[in-house]
Structure 1
Amino acid sequence: MLTENKEVGTGWSHEERWNLGWRLESHGVDRRAHVELELQLVQHSISQFTARGVQLLEYEIKYLCTRGREIFLEQPILLELEAPIKICGITLLTCHCQYYDLLRLFESGGFPPEANYLFLGDESVDRGKHSLETICLLLAYKSKYPENFFLLRGNHEVASTNRVYGFYDECKCKRRYNIKLWKTFTDCFNCMPIAAIIDDKIFAMHGGLSPHLQSMDQIRRIMRPTDIPDTGLLCDLLWADPSEAGSTGWGESDRGVSFTFGPDIVQRFLDKHGMDLICRAHQVVEDGYEFFAKRHLVTVFSAPNYCGEFENAGAIMSVDESLLCSFQLLRPASKKPKVWGKKKNEKKVNL
């Protein structure tokens, strides 16, 4: 028996988890059973973490990264998905309590596999003390439900970015882990998909459009693993932004990387490819979602009260079978997670 029906969280010590890891890795236990147990272990560890952080076992994290990498490579770099699906923008873990905002997100939209999910990148890497816990939970869900749970790559799933903004330090400092673990994550991130198409009508990515993008086959032909260059198609898909005040055409970005693009670029792209909507993340928006280009582009941002200072709402975009889109809003949570059951507001927008 794998677990002998022993409930995780009611007696698993670190020594038992290490021994179990050796058994699983040494004796070829069924992969599905392994993933199921890993998900239980990670969820239990995360539910118990304090402001000091929980010491997830290194072999558990490496397993999730390795299995996640395998699944990413088994699936295309340009995902072709079907509705119904829930789309989540940036979910950066900015403080202790925002881990609970991720759980509130699942409570609002349904825990996997109750609902299908697409995350638009920056999957809780950087700018927080508990990035590891959150990315491990997301990788665990990806491992357990590979056909229901999808993670796109964002600009923070890039070594040059997360080395500066905190994830590298979290991996190697405070006696948590080491640089080798950060490199394991980097190997996993380098294999993530870049964009998704939903029912041939919705194009989703982390950043935005690119002047280099003429055909979807350009994305499909990109070989993985790959780093993200400083310029070009991959860079723009992760870094580009809609222009301010509706300026037309392509413009220089204040970020110092990639471009901005106007509503005319959006309309031209949609007309050329027979699509109706572009869905992206990459920017804080006050209401959790914001339209651009006459509602032909929407920015979705799922982290409420970003960095503890913006007091913004977070949002989940739900796409039903008829491609009707609705938005479930997540207001900033109190410091206590007991408010998980609080009623959520919902706004519906017919696209």
Structure 2
Amino acid sequence: MLRFYNFVQYKYCIGTDPVYSFLLSRILIFISRVSVLPLLFCSTMLILITALLVRGCRPGKIVQMTEAEVRGLCIKSREIFLSQPILLELEAPLKICGDIHGQYTDLLRLFEYGGFPPEANYLFLGDYVDRGKQSLETICLLLAYKIKYPENFFLLRGNHECASINRIYGFYDECKRRFNIKLWKTFTDCFNCLPIAAIIDEKIFCCHGGPLMSLTQVCLLCDLLWSDPDKDVQGWGENDRGVSFTFGADVVSKFLNRHDLDLICRAHQVVEDGYEFFAKRQLVTLFSAPNYCGEFDNAGGMMSVDESLMCSFQILKPSEKKAKYQYGGVNTGRPVTPPRTAQAPKKR
């Protein structure tokens, strides 16, 4: 039976263990001196070690990766995604995270708080790239963990894991600036194979946007990635995004009853406290990028589901005030989706 634990944990800026960083740096030095490197460490492990070495460094520090390493991550993870179903059937316990949007430092803070894999199982709900300054670091770390722990670490597709969207909102420009357009196309091939929904213990339905009329309509990818709840709507309504629809509390109830589910867990929208309930706690929105784009005072949320389906929330406060994200030194000027509880973004 699904339950919610009322205690909410808050976490602020987390310090880095200097001993941990020192040991990792010693490992890298050792690896660099060993001629039989392929026999000892695969490129995935190298990227994991390199990516985690920036813990405790100034926010925005670039992780050094070669094009061959990144391409290898895309190819190998794509094979894993293709070998697993498009609708995942998962078991608790696990932790669920919402949008990350290239906020790599905050992703590391989430792992420090929730436990680095394989200490905990994870399900991410999409939108790993765009908006933030470090989309490449973010998606490469997530893909590396998927390769390393394919049965314990899961990634769903968000609307920004789509070429027509991330071509505009930053990821394309980041790939082009740091590598080349060909690598961006390799990422696109990988994103096209991501699963789009998950069901936890036959009771919690997880996706990026919102539900469908039937689970047999999984081919209707647009609604799963784009739809939004609206307390002022009965049934389905128009979406201000210009894509898909909004849906009311009645749609949530009908969907859950039809499929004998207890909860819809989705992402896709900024929410002020990192999580927000809808439809009498039948739906929860998670957003895991605190201080989103440097424009909002929102917290980041992560939901923990234990073996008994008890759900609790861990809240990540913004570590510091950040400037608006820019790509290549030029602000995109494109608006972000504001929190439902805010009339206008709070400027930083």
**Whole-angstrom distance in 1 between the partners of 2:50 and 2:211:** 39
**Displacement after TM superposition at 1:311 (Å):** 0.5
2:43 and 2:69 in contact (8 A); partners too: no
Number of the residue aligned with 1:236: 223
After superposition, what is the alpha-carbon deviation per residue over 1:174-226, rounded to whole angstroms, capped at 9, x for unaligned? xx10001000100100000000000000000001123xx42x3443xx5xxxx
Extract unaligned runs of 5+ from structure 1: 1-6, 223-232, 337-351
- SS of 1:284's partner is coil
Matches within 5 A, 1:1-351: 9-10=25-26, 24=38, 33-44=42-53, 51=60, 53-93=62-102, 98-123=103-128, 125-173=129-177, 176-210=178-212, 213-214=213-214, 216-219=215-218, 233-243=220-230, 245-334=231-320
Distance in 2 between the 1:49 and 1:10 partners?
20
Separation in structure 1 between the aligned mates of residue 169 and residue 310 of structure 2, nearest angstrom: 37
Contact 2:124 2:155 in 1 (8 A): yes
Deviations 1:143-192 (Å, cap 9, x if unpaired)? 1011111000000000000000010000012xx10001000100100000
Cα distance change on mapping 1:274 and 1:163 into 2, 3 Å: same
The alpha-carbon deviation at position 103 of structure 1 amounts to 1.3
Distance in 2 separating the partners of 1:144 and 1:47: 23
Counterparts of 2:42 and 2:292 in 1: how far apart (Å)? 37
In 1, the alpha carbon distance for the partners of 2:288 and 2:227 equals 19
Cα distance in 2 between the residues matched to 1:110 and 1:11: 21
TM-score scaled by length of structure 1: 0.79
8 Å CA contact retained: 1:46, 1:133: no
SS at match of 1:164: coil
Counterpart Cα distance in 1 of 2:109 and 2:55: 14
| 8 Å CA contact retained: 2:60, 2:105 | no
SS of the aligned residue for 1:290 comes to: strand
Report which of the two has the higher share of helix: 1
State the distance in 2 between where 1:274 and 1:79 align: 17
Return the TM-score normalized by structure 2. Answer: 0.79
Do the aligned residues in 1 keep the contact of 2:50 with 2:63 (CA within 8 Å)? no
Q: Distance in 1 between matches of 2:68 and 2:292?
A: 31
How many equivalent residue pairs?
299
Q: CA deviation at 1:104?
A: 1.3
In 2, Cα distance between the equivalents of 1:11 and 1:293? 50
- Secondary structure of the residue aligned to 1:165 is coil
Aligned to 2:301, the other structure's residue is in SS state: strand
Shift of 1:48: 6.3
In 2: Cα distance, 1:45 partner to 1:331 partner: 20
Deviation at 1:236, TM superposition (A): 0.5
Contact 1:85 1:319 in 2 (8 A): yes
The answer on whether the counterparts of 2:87 and 2:197 sit within 8 Å (CA) in structure 1 is yes
Could you tell me how far apart the structure 2 residues matched to 1:75 and 1:10 are?
36
RMSD after superposition:
2.6
Partner AA of 1:185 in structure 2: F
Aligned-pair distance for 1:127? 1.0
Say whether the 8 Å CA contact 2:126–2:208 is kept in structure 1.
yes
CA displacement at 1:102 relative to structure 2: 1.2
